[in-house]
């Protein structure tokens, strides 16, 4: 299991468009990928799950990957979140 803390810089947080990009990216990995925020956890391969966390700008979240390609999955998902534009 690999875990990475990430600061959400996107002005609107993880709303529909960036959440969709995350789900697509996460679905390309074999590993299970999830996000923890405010004591809640969601599967990043589920759009509804990601949106249900209501992650806003300047939120500190934890990306967790577990599986065959966990290191790459955690790194790529964290990088995508950090580089999201409004």
Q: Under a CB-based contact definition with an 8 Å cutoff, are residues 24 and 6 in contact?
A: no
Strands 32-37 and 2-7: unpaired
Our answer to whether residue 45 is catalytic in this structure is no
Which among 9, 15, 51, 62 is annotated as catalytic?
15
Q: Are 74 and 64 in contact (CB under 8 A)?
A: yes
- CA dist 73 and 19 (Å) reads 16
Q: Which residues are catalytic?
A: 15
């Amino acid at each position: 299991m690999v875990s990475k803390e990430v600061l959400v810089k996107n002005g609107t947080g993880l709303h529909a468009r960036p959440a969709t990009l995350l789900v697509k990216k996460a679905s390309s990995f074999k590993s299970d990928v999830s996000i923890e925020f405010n004591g809640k956890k969601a599967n990043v391969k589920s759009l509804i799950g990601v949106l249900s966390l209501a992650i806003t700008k300047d939120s500190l979240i934890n990306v967790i990957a577990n599986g065959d390609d966990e290191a790459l999955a955690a790194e790529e998902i964290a990088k995508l979140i950090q580089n999201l534009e409004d």
